[in-house]
């Protein structure tokens, strides 16, 4: 059976749409502000998004999960729960461009985690690429030259949480159908977020609920169009396109939210994404099973 031919133009188009969707997510959360606590906002986003699981119910009913699989799905949900709470917190504390740039770190952490827990070999070139990504992080944060805000610390740990979630997803993808993996993540994260949300509950307005439902819609659409991009061409084609998300985020922050344009953030984000793209390319050249995810795959 021959694989379908690569269609790079189609893949780039779908990746551009993906970038638009995820930038729309950040814009909506930023616009909503911090009246709703981060954990509650994340909980409502996932609760409202459960409607998109309806087509997955047959696959979920047919899945006969073992005790081990339940534990792994729960552990993944815990990692992802921490990530989304930290992401919602950071969005209200630091500029959109900085959140976007630092989110590129998650695939780098995935590469490190794959070496530590999945037996992946860390060759010298991959170690050098990881070092470049860490330099990019230092360029963004510039400790000692400016204040490192709580939002920056939150994004550092957010990237770790999303990386842990992705690594567990890679394990479960070999044991369960994709629909089951996606559905279990949404269900477990919603349940895990509930106690954090109710601990500091603020009644949302109808307008805020509408915004969070739009967040769920754009996030779901972004993951769907990302899948379409990967079906059309290899990740090595689509990965560099994700840099445009940082461009859109900078423009959005400057034009809509009056956030200053920080050249250091753009440079640091470019270094991180260049490192991720290099690691992805090396995986393709060596023709081994891809571990490093595309940047959008470690988002909400």
Residue 3 belongs to a domain: no
Tally of domains in the chain: 1
Ranges of residues in the chain with a pLDDT under 50 are 1-2
**Among candidate residues 55, 11, 68, the one with its CA nearest the CA of residue 226:** 11
Radius of gyration of the chain (CA): 19
What are the tens digits of pLDDT across the range 177-195?
878 888 888 899 999 999 9
Residue 1 belongs to a domain: no
Q: How far is CA 195 from CA 29, 40, 155, 201, 245, in A?
A: 21, 9, 22, 10, 33
> In this structure, what are the phi and psi dihedrals at residue 248, rounded to the nearest 5 degrees?
-65, -40
What is the structure's pLDDT at 214?
A: 94
Residue 291 belongs to a domain: yes
What is the structure's pLDDT at 294?
A: 57
β-sheet bridge partners, residue 146: 143
114 contacts 291 by C-beta, under 8 angstroms: yes
CA dist., res. 100 & res. 70, Å (int): 32
What is the structure's pLDDT at 196?
A: 95
CA dist., res. 91 & res. 22, Å (int): 13
Look at the chain and count its residues: 300
Q: How far is CA 290 from CA 55, 130, 165, 234, 284, in A?
A: 28, 16, 16, 11, 7
> In this structure, what are the phi and psi dihedrals at residue 164, rounded to the nearest 5 degrees?
-60, -40
Q: How far is CA 66 from CA 63, 69, 72, 172, in A?
A: 9, 5, 10, 12
What is the structure's pLDDT at 45?
A: 92
What is the structure's pLDDT at 221?
A: 87
Residue 190 belongs to a domain: yes
Which structural domain range is residue 97 located in? 8-298
What is the structure's pLDDT at 299?
A: 60
Averaged pLDDT of the chain = 85
What are the tens digits of pLDDT across the range 40-58?
999 999 999 899 888 888 8
* Angle at alpha carbon of residue 102, lines to 141 and 38, rounded to 5°: 105
CA dist., res. 218 & res. 199, Å (int): 27
Residue 228 belongs to a domain: yes
SS3 labels along the chain = CCCCCCCHHHHHHHHHHHHHHHHHHHHHHHHHCCCCCHHHHHHHHHHHHHHHHHHHHHHHHHCCCCHHHHHHHHHHHHHHHHHHHHHHHHHCCCCHHHHHHHHCHHHHHHHHHHHHHCCCCCCHHHHHHHHHHHHHHHHHHCECCECCCHHHHHHHHHHHHHHHHHHHHHHHCCCCCHHHHHHHHHHHHHHHHHHHHHHCCCCCCHHHHHHHHHHHHHHHHHHHHHHHHHHHCCHHHHHHHHHHHHHHHHHHHHHCCCCCCCHHHHHHHHHHHHHHHHHHHHHHHHCCCCCCCCHHHHCC
Residue 2 belongs to a domain: no
What is the structure's pLDDT at 1?
A: 42
Residue 284 belongs to a domain: yes
Residue 100 belongs to a domain: yes
């Amino acid at each position: 059976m021959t694989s379908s031919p690569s269609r790079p133009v189609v893949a780039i188009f779908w990746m551009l749409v993906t970038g638009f969707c995820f930038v729309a997510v950040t814009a909506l959360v930023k616009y909503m502000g911090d009246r709703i606590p981060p954990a509650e906002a994340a909980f409502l986003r996932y609760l409202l998004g459960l409607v998109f699981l309806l087509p997955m119910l047959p696959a979920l009913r047919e899945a006969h999960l073992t005790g081990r699989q339940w534990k792994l799905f729960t552990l993944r949900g815990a990692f992802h729960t921490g990530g989304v709470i930290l992401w919602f917190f950071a969005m209200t504390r630091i500029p959109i461009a900085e959140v976007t740039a630092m989110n590129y770190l998650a695939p780098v952490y995935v590469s490190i985690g794959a070496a530590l827990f999945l037996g992946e070999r860390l060759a010298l070139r991959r170690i050098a690429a990881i070092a470049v990504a860490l330099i990019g992080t230092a360029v963004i944060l510039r400790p000692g030259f400016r204040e490192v805000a709580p939002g920056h610390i939150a994004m550092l740990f957010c990237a770790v949480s999303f990386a842990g979630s992705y690594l567990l997803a890679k394990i479960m993808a070999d044991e369960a159908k994709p629909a089951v993996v996606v559905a279990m993540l949404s269900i477990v994260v919603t349940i895990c977020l509930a106690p954090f949300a109710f601990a500091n509950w603020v009644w949302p307005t109808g307008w805020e609920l509408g915004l969070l439902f739009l967040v769920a819609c754009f996030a779901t659409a972004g993951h769907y169009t990302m899948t379409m991009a990967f079906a059309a061409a290899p990740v090595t084609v689509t990965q560099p396109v994700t840099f445009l998300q940082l461009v859109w985020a900078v423009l959005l922050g400057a034009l809509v939210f009056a956030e200053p344009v920080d050249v250091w953030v753009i440079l640091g984000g470019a270094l991180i994404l260049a490192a991720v793209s290099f690691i992805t390319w090396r995986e393709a050249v060596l023709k081994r099973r891809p571990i490093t995810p595309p940047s959008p795959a470690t988002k909400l």
